[in-house]
Structure 1
Amino acid sequence: MSQPTIPLESATQVVEAGKRKAHELGLSAVFAVLDAGANLVSFERMDGAWLASNDLATAKARTSVMFEMPSEALNAPVQLGEPLTHFDHINGGLLLMGGGVPITDAEGTLLGALGVSGGTPEQDAEIARTAVS
């Protein structure tokens, strides 16, 4: 049985919505849409976006797929005396900051994720949330 996934047409719609929000915020961003198996479905870099954002957007989307939650949810503040969760040893690149959000169907089944990079982590998260809503 094959795993549900986001179709290219839907991925394109998500990216277009993200680009509109980025323009509204005055940002040039990069958008990476991965399917539920963390495979690239769609990738777009707005004119003027930083080249480093290519890898950052993809890592945020991968993080969101792997944990089935927004990447920012894994960015807990460090608490003295508490164990520190880190994932720097995981191959494939994960990024624990805002900008990665899961994409689900109406039943809540994971179809993939969107990763955005181009502004602050808060701006990237806002763009990503807007794009998938």
Structure 2
Amino acid sequence: MKYLIILACLFAATNAVSKEFMADFVGKVRTLGDKCVGEVKAQPGDIDTLLAHKVPETHEGKCLLFCIHKNFGIQKDDGGWSLEGGLQFIEPLKADDPAMFEDLRKVGVTCSTKVEKDADPCITAVNIAMCLVQEGKAFGITSELFEI
């Protein structure tokens, strides 16, 4: 599921990231994605929308992103952004590709100041994902660079 692992595309955007690192990371994301699909009761249409790299129209589809973010520490239980959690999330990348780690750190810092917490944590999750993708492009990090 390509969009479910949009965060993985950020890691795969450079050849410097080892295949072993990516294989481990993708496995974790797939497992988490499967867990979150059941948890938020996402429907096949929600998943298809994510696979098409589009923002889900349904609330459950948006909450799928929140579940993923929350489990990776990017968002807090109340839906707020967690820069500290996001940095911990990418910490394993530091040893594998320090330059990519630094680029992602910059993207995270930028998005942490741009994305405001919405009353609905699922809307915040969508806004975070959109910011990460948009700001990532400034560093040449795009979802098209990632293939499963």
The alignment's TM-score, normalised by the length of structure 2, stands at 0.28
The alignment's TM-score, normalised by the length of structure 1, stands at 0.30
**If each structure's helix is expressed as a fraction of its own residues, which one has the higher value?**
2
